[in-house]
Amino acid sequence: MAMPRWGSVLAATAGAVVGAVLLYGSYLTVAPLVSQESAAAEPAASSTPTPSASPTATAATEPAGCDWEALANRDRPPYVKGDADGMPRAREMTDATWECVGDGWTVEVRSAGDDAWVPGVAQALYLVAPGGDLLKLYDLRTDVAVEVLEADLDARLAWTARHSAGDGFQVVQVGLDTGDSTVEWGGSAIPDPQVGRDGTVWNVRPIGDFASGGTLWGGYSPYGDLQSLFVREAGADFTGFAAQKPLDNLIEDGAVNHRGDPGVEAWLNQEGTLAVFLAQRLDRSVKNPGSKGTGTWVVADLESDEWRVETATLPRLLCRPAPGTYAPGAYEDPGALQAVCTKGDRESVYRLSVGGDPEEVESFGP
C-alpha cells in the first residue's frame, strides 16, 4: 500500500540513523528542461544525466520583473510533454520566467499520484506560482523520498532531505536554476555531530525565523532529539554559535544524551533566543548504567552569542526534555526545565534547574 508522502517522510525521519548507507549520487538530473522548440535539436536522452545547454526562453515577451498573474496564457511557457504517467500538469521553466518569481512562490516536490511515493515512483521538483501553476524544474531520482526543507528563491537555492527505507536523512543544497546538488555545504557553521566522515550533512532542518534575522536550524540525534543549533542568514551564508565549541569538547570528553549515546540534550525557549544544553555523565560501574548524578549545563543566549557553563546536579537517571515544554526563563536564570528521566524500565518526571537541585514531580506541563 502506498504511504502518503509526508507520512513516509516522517516515518523515515523518526527512525533516522546518522551514517546510514544511502546512495550519495546526485538525486537531481542535471539537464534542465528546455522548450519544445529547442528540444527537437537535442540528442536523445541517455540513462546517465549530462549537462545540457541553457534553457531556452519560450515567452520572449516576458519583461524583466514580470507579473506572472498578469501574463496572458499565450505568453507563459508551454506545458511539459511526455512526462511520466501520473505526474501533475506543469509548465516548462525558462530563464525568462525567473523574472516572474517573487513573493508567494514556493518550491515543492510532487510525485506520480501526487500524494504518495514509493521506491521507483517518478517525482520532480517544481516552482509553484501564487495562483497554483506548477513550473517543472527537474526530475528527481526515484530511490529516495525527497523533502524540501527551505528555499531561498532570491539566491535560487533550496535545501532538501533525502529519506530512504533505511535510517537517517542526508541534507543537500540544490541550485534551482542549475540542478547542481552540493553534499558538503555550510562550512564550519554546521555542528560536528551533524557532519559525516565524508563531509556530508545529516539530520538537520529549519526550526523557524531567527530573532536577529535569517532562519534558526536544528541538528538532531539519530532518534530526532535536538542536539545542536546554527543559523542560515541568507543564500548559502551559514553561521554557528560560540557555544558549540564547549559542547563539542564535552561530547569528546564523554558527555551522553538520555540514551547513553555521545551527545547532549537541549531545551529552547519559545522565541528561539535561549538554549540550555545538558551534558550528562554515564555511570558504567553498575549493571544497568544510568547517570552519575552530575553533569554540565551550557546556557546560550543565541541573540548575543554569549554562553556560560555550570555544574549540573541530577537524579541518577538519564534525562531528556519533556515533550512540548520550553525553557521558561532568561539567560541569567533559565527557570525550571521539565524533564523525563529514565533508567531501565523506571521513568520519572523532574524539574531541573541551572544551579539548583532536581525536584521530582508527578507530571509535566507546558
Res 102: pLDDT: 93
Cell 507563459 sits on residue: 76
Res 284: pLDDT: 86
Res 21: pLDDT: 28
Looking at every residue in the chain, the average pLDDT score rounds to 83
Contact 257, 227 (CB under 8 A): yes
The answer to whether residue 116 scores a pLDDT higher than 70 is: no
150: β partners:
159
What the block records as the C-alpha cell of 242 is 560560540
Name the band, by pLDDT with cuts 50, 70 and 90, for residue 283. Answer: very high
Chain centroid offset of residue 104 CA: 21
Res 119: pLDDT: 82
Res 51: pLDDT: 32
320: β partners:
340
The answer to whether residue 210 scores a pLDDT higher than 80 is: yes
The whole-number average pLDDT for the span 109-136 is 88
CA 221/CA 293 separation, integer angstroms: 22
Res 114: pLDDT: 64
DSSP sequence for 96-111: GGGGG--TT-EEEEEE
Res 166: pLDDT: 67
The answer to whether residue 99 scores a pLDDT higher than 80 is: yes
State whether the Cα torsion 210-214-181-160 is positive or negative. Answer: positive
173: β partners:
159, 182
Q: What's the DSSP call for residue 281?
A: E
Most confident of 6-10, 29-33, 172-176: 172-176
Res 43: pLDDT: 29
CA 89/CA 354 separation, integer angstroms: 56
Res 366: pLDDT: 64
Name the band, by pLDDT with cuts 50, 70 and 90, for residue 64. Answer: low
- pLDDT tens for residues 148-183? 999 999 999 999 999 987 677 999 999 999 999 999
pTM: 0.81
